[in-house]
Structure 1
């Protein structure tokens, strides 16, 4: 999975995400509110320190993209991804460990320091979509 931040607009980061896994390949261009990226950065930093909890990044108005990282307290991180474009939807998950979070945190810090959210961006935190939650 790759997530490439490509630009910045008023209050938003534009990005392109690509997923390749087995037979599946999905690509989607998305825009994230700056405040959502800052919240995600903070959540990932807490997850990396405690190894427990969740970090979520999603788009503002649609459920076309969702990335959820869930730490189990022992260093293992479950990554859940949901992409949706029109009538097609794709969801997958895989396991990694906390060492892969550090380079991601570094990139997010650089972005949020260089392009900080402003008060005018308003506080935006979207709930985790059902497509990313654990199924019983």
Structure 2
């Protein structure tokens, strides 16, 4: 994925994140309260937004070092983390299906892997 694609992805996901957060706060408030999962939903939105910003910033780094495979991999790890971590929390919040909490940490591991890739990608290419 090139830097322009990463930045556009971050912009699209950023808009989606704001929409999901607003819809959760207003349109889904009753369902979230019924399941006692308002804080869980908010955590999902926060982590999604943090990693959307990470995708955007990595996109800016990719503009400086366009062929950095570790930075490219971090984008995919962050997207996977958003899908698994935030996605499982969204479903848990809306359905009350508690076993989904068991897969949430896999999304957290994807986030960690993404940050490790940024660390080594920046150290290897940007520090030269």
Task: Return the TM-score normalized by structure 2.
Answer: 0.28
Question: Quick check: which one's helix share is greater?
Answer: 2
TM-score between the two structures when normalised by the length of structure 1: 0.27
Q: Considering only CA atoms, is the larger Rg found in Structure 1 or Structure 2?
A: 2
